Homo-oligomer: A and B are copies of this chain.
């Protein structure tokens, strides 16, 4: 049989991306078969290859698009005019909002890095370091102008990112706290890590 009426190639590709993202996040790249992705999408396994040359490319595209979208979103959201303290708060809020909306992308971009083959791995790693430079630069700016008292810029950066990303592990909508409340709490926790003076 040929294409079903009402579905276009682009739609199928998008559905495949979504399903793959969901399944990779839930079970891991290696544990998800092309057939499983196909079944969930409602096509045959062979059809996937009309859209993605290999399984590896499918993962790679997901991760790369994610990282590029993230960086683009920050480029959009960035407010370089802000003082370090406000800039850090702005970043924390941006990061939490953005990452909770794409918890699956975030999850696999940390988990499945190791599933990427060499070239793909390097490219994603590079993008990730680029993003990590964002908070790091803010910390260093704040250290220089005295707004922050940073213990160690590198470790503090990693600590902040780890802390924020940890949220994707346990956050549930309709949990005890609203996203706004959680966001506010994390803003304060991060402020404490850099010993932002005005806090509390």
Contacts and interface: CB of A to CB of B under 8 A. Distances in A.
A61 interface: no
A111 interface: yes
Q: Which of A166, A167, A185, A195 has the most CB of B within 10 A?
A: A166
Contacts of A89: none
Contacts of A28: 28-31, 114-115
A188 B185 CA distance: 20
Interface stretch (A65-73, A98-106, A138-146, A148-156): A148-156
Contacts of A158: 166-167, 169-170
B170 A166 contact: no
Interface string A157-200: 01101110111011000001100001001101100110100001
A49 to B, nearest CB: 11
A118 interface: no
Given A28-B115, A192-B192, A195-B192, A161 B166 contact: yes
A88 B177 CA distance: 25
A28 B169 CA distance: 18
A26 interface: yes
Interface of A: 26-31, 111, 114-115, 149, 151-152, 154-156, 158-159, 161-163, 165-167, 169-170, 176-177, 182, 185-186, 188-189, 192-193, 195, 200
Given A27-B115, A151-B188, A155-B186, 7 more contacts: A28-B30, A28-B115, A155-B185, A155-B189, A161-B166, A162-B169, A195-B200
